[in-house]
Structure 1
């Protein structure tokens, strides 16, 4: 099967690329595996070992804290150890969870870790129980100490009290009582010694013997004291507290002996639990060491796998590189021999074409892509031959057309110049018309503004007249009221006249009575002198009253005259007010008509201004359009000049093109 040059090059490069890709892919896989193994050996496995050791250290720390707590007697110290214990347990669970996440790809290690965690949780539970047990044991020990102190405090006066009773019994010649008291005293001392020994005994067999002896002494002591109480009932108040104290100390659960027995029992349980914990911790340590050894084994295997993978990758790269080099050399030699001979012929043909010989042709006897290049060069020569011939013919035609275009453009420029002058004249006229229209619009606007001002003043006058009319009407009302009051006043003065007439009549009658009284007093002589004096005074008062009434009458008459004059004046003012109201109403109607006419004039002025503005806009648009036409004409003129220059240049190019085409052999 024949392969072309390009196919051979493609095949060669494809083989080389495949080998390069194979080398790259192999290198990538090797590097990835090596990186994975290195990651495993350098980071993951050391972290797993560290976490395993941390887990073991946490368990040992929990065991250590538990042992320290078992030997601690101070409450605050035990509380601190309990807090440290809980922190250690928390840290253990964190380490375990971290190790579980790292062991998730290793089922066997995960199973062993789970078994180790189960045992560790058992140890933690035992340690937690032991903490509680130790607290109970310490409580029992403290309770025993308190009970011992209470016993010694209550027992210290026993010998004195028994001695006093003994002396009294001897005095009363009660020999049996003396014997009972002596025996009870000996038993009391023995009991005290045994109870003091109890706190020092931790052996189970020894504590049993002491317990039996204490029970025997309790029975004997109680019996002897009860015998004494039977013989001397008065001693019960003294002896019964000792019996109760000894019973509580030996037999009751909160007593000294029972609390110490409870302490020993808890101590035995504590020792048993500590031994169990020790065995479990040893088992966990052994299992942790096994787990650590397996992790180290995985690390060794990972390192060996990385070494083997690196060796395999190295040989694969070397072999692939050698094969790729051989293929590349073979492809290069084949391509060189396939290109060298045709390339010389093609170079010769291109040299002839570059010198203008368009008749040169190459023999087409090559099967590779170089044969296609030869055919394409021959086709190119033929097409260039036809193209140059066509260009030569076109250049002649182009030169003729360029000459005619130049002549027509020159004539067109002259016409455009005349059109530009006429357009400028029209634009000037339209601009002047626009100015006049703007002035008319301005004057119309000013007129409208003045009319609006006059209208506003007229409206203000109407408002003022309305206010004045209201004031005049109020004045007329006030005048009417004043006229009524003055009329009433005049009528009241008439009543005053009647009163004055009555006063005058009364004063005349009084004067007559005084005169008669004076006459009668004169007739009476000396006896009537006092009455005459009174009558004279009454007559004098009557005369003054008459004179005052006359003066009042004179003033009232003057007041009545002025009141009548005021009524007449008020009537005249009312007529003037009515005339003022009528004239104000007529003026209001006249101003209203004037405002209506001013409004009509204002509307007409606005219409004129609006029309002028519209006319101004139209004139402005016309002026702008004319200016635009003038600018377009100027632009066309400039473009025509440019086109004329281009036509001239085109003529020159056509001549130059003809000269260039003449160089080719066609």
Structure 2
């Protein structure tokens, strides 16, 4: 490729520029490889070590955290589930620790791993010891609480028996003896309850020493109690012996409580020692993490220095590349400026519709070839404008076509006018038919109005009839109630008559008894007078019943009269209903006559409607013809308008295009 070509010179400049960029890239890649090597050391050694140290730290803290619910358990049955969680946490911690043991580190780091492993073994051993201690503590505590509940039960029973014996004692001496025993037992029980509430070993041992001093006074009171009140002593001896065993024996409730607190203190000391092991192990793990952080910081510092050197080198190469690119660009700009100005001037004339000049540039390079193409385009545009001028003659022919279409449209409009006259005549006939229909309709409306009035009259009569029937129904209901009342009164009369019959029977019996007594006693019979009095009372009852019967009979007579009056009223209402029914019949007959007249008027309307229908069909046919002509005229008018618009646009456009360009003069 010749260097006289613009493209070859551009290629040469860009080749040198690319070579410079490749050199800068190689330097950057080399520097990045050095930095990546250090970063790989950080990511593959230091970062995993820091992450694993953090995970190991978390696993150790999880072990310590899982021990909290284990030591918070109340019952032995809960320990297995918590112990499984602790063992799972230990297993996870051991897996994390095995990663450190299997890794190959420097001597200093290997020593830290060994210390961590040794501390971890102490932790695991101590956890096994804590398992045993906590299990034994909870077991003893559970048994101690059971013993304390038994102790409280025995104390309550003994106190109740002593109080009962005190209340039943017959002599003052017995009461004093029982009160002395009760007082000593109360003091001893109070100290025992105080011991159960304490958790400090020094205070517990102090109370147990007080138990021994309290024992002598209690034994003396019990001995006196046994001698002076042997019967009561025999009843409470078993309870008292069991209660004293719970206080003074090695397997008693007090001793068990003391043993439980000793185990609790031992467990607290073991947990404190375990926490010490945890802290030591955490320190060694932190030392491992600090070692990894120190190595990461050293490598990061070296990488930063290397990156700074690389940045300086890249900046230097970039400045040289910019300087070289500037020189190449200035040289290329000088090569492009002259031909581009010539092309710009020529194209500006073309943009101003001046096609009379060409580009005068003959050098054989890229711009020379572009100048030839621009001159060719100018020639083609000149040819096209000449063709546009020739196409103007085609517009005259299109105008003639529009004239013929206009004549055909005028003929169709004349036909449409004739058919419109026929439609007007048909519409006059329709108007006459409609007038006749309107007259018949008005007469029909008047007749229908009269029929409606008659129907309303019939409706009113029917409503009156309904009201009378309802009143009749009410009267009959009253009659029914009256009859029922008569029936009830009759029933009450029957019951009263039954009473009278009973009284009569009893009166007969009393009279008979009086006669018998009188016969037996003779003159000295006193029962006769009593019987006579009873007979008089029964006679009075009979008289009252008779009066009540008379009153009931009067009520029955009054009710019967009332029923007769109501029945008569019902008969009168029935007569009124018959009269109203006659009125309704007359109204219905009148409605029937009016409906006959409506039927005749309807026939007249039907004949007028038939005539109107035939005329309407004729009008419809004429309107259909008008519609066809209108559609055809509309299409031709649209076609004519479209041709006219197209011709107008074509003419204006061609005139503008032709007038804007300046052609080469022949």
Q: TM-score, normalised by structure 2?
A: 0.41
Structure ID, larger Rg? 1
